[in-house]
Structure 1
Amino acid sequence: MAQAASLVGRAGADGHEAEALSMHALRLAEKEAHAAAVLARARRSPGGASAEARRQACGPAAEVITAAARVLDLAEGVRPDALVATDLAAAAEAARAAATTAGLSIEVHSGAPTPPEVAAVTTRANRLTTAIRDVVVTLS
């Protein structure tokens, strides 16, 4: 997610907001790593991972989905042209991948279905990449 936010900033989105989002994404990566370590320790303990440990592992993943949507908020505010098309497309794909894997993490750890916000991020990323392709084809 940090790379996606940086790419959007490079493409012309609000640089301050993109940088803040990139830093937030780096903190989320640390939170996810910590949650994974806690969950791994809980799994090795007698009785395995508790429901609480699994629930806590879902928190950072849910935040990643929200951050992916924020990356798309910024990306959708940039007018795609030939100079920024690849950065915007890479940001959209990174946001989609982050949201999808975070949703799967929530599904695996909680037993609940993938959050609907994942589908919303996927739809928005698809729309953005379609718009980028349309611009690139027009310029060719």
Structure 2
Amino acid sequence: MSQPTQSPQHTASGFGGSPIGDYLGELAAKVPAPGGGAVAALHAAQGAALVAMVARYTTRAKDADHRPVIDRIIEAADTARERALALADADADAFTAVGAAYKLPKATDDETAARSAAIHEALLEAARVPAAVIDEADGILALATELLPIGNPNVVTDIGAAAAAARAAAVTSQLNIEINVVSLPDEHAAAFTWALGRIDEITARADSLHLEVLRAVRGG
């Protein structure tokens, strides 16, 4: 996360209350937030929403035997969507905090020390948010995988789309963690090693689910 050069324009209402056109306009603007971190969280939110949609299409009479599982998946996916939206807002807040910390005065030793501490804490938080998005991506992918064998086959491609969204959330979050921890002391950066180490496993699972959906579509 590089130092912002302008103040973010994201509104206080949050991503959950913003029309998609307004969000994309802000994303395209020459302002530091929203950026890749918010995009990662919104990938996760979209993945969760797709899982919930497929599950809701799997409530036919013929699906009665799976109804307890389907109901649990719906509830979990809806909750994950809300958490991911909150993380999109948290990322914008974290980016703002980083920018504010870099702008603190450093004319005296005390000011310099306070500024360094503020930057350190802001960078930590800016890495914690994408680490939490990785958690969400992992959970959403698990729900999609569980849903595939029992989901309504008429919307099976949306399970693949959910997996792709979860994958995008994870790999984008990896980038946002990396750019923040590079400026942290090794002992603090190490706290994110576990989150970063999960990326390959998450992407492999997402790719595998994608192939399963392709086989289902092709009748293989």
- How many percent identity over aligned positions? 33
| 1:15 and 2:74 matched | yes
Match of 2:97 among 30, 38, 44: 38
TM-score by length of 1: 0.89
2:154 aligned counterpart, secondary structure: coil
Deviations 1:90-131 (A, max 9, x none): 111111111111111110100257701111211111011010
Whole-Å Cα distance in 1 between the matches of residues 197 and 152 of structure 2?
31
User: Residue 51 of structure 1: CA displacement?
Assistant: 2.3
8 Å CA contact 1:81–1:136 kept in 2: the answer is no
Q: Are 1:121 and 2:190 counterparts?
A: no
Give the Cα–Cα distance (whole angstroms) in 1 for the partners of residues 153 and 76 of structure 2.
Answer: 23
Native 8 Å contact 1:3 1:91 kept in 2: yes
Provide the C-alpha distance between the structure 1 equivalents of 2:200 and 2:105, rounded to a whole number of angstroms. 37
Which protein shows a greater Rg? 2
TM-score norm. by structure 2 comes to 0.58
Per-residue CA deviations over 1:16-53 (Å, capped at 9, x if unaligned) read 11111111111111111111111122233346772222
Q: CA deviation at 1:83?
A: 1.4
Q: 2:171–2:199: 8 Å Cα contact kept in structure 1?
A: yes
Counterpart AA for 1:132: V
Q: How does 1:31-70 map to 2 (within 5 A)?
A: 31-46=90-105, 50-70=119-139
1:73 to 132, 142, 155: 142
1:26 alignment counterpart = 85
8 Å CA contact retained: 1:85, 1:132: yes
Q: Name 1:94's counterpart in structure 2.
A: 165
**C-alpha RMSD over aligned residues:** 2.0
- Amino acid of the structure 1 residue aligned with 2:180: H
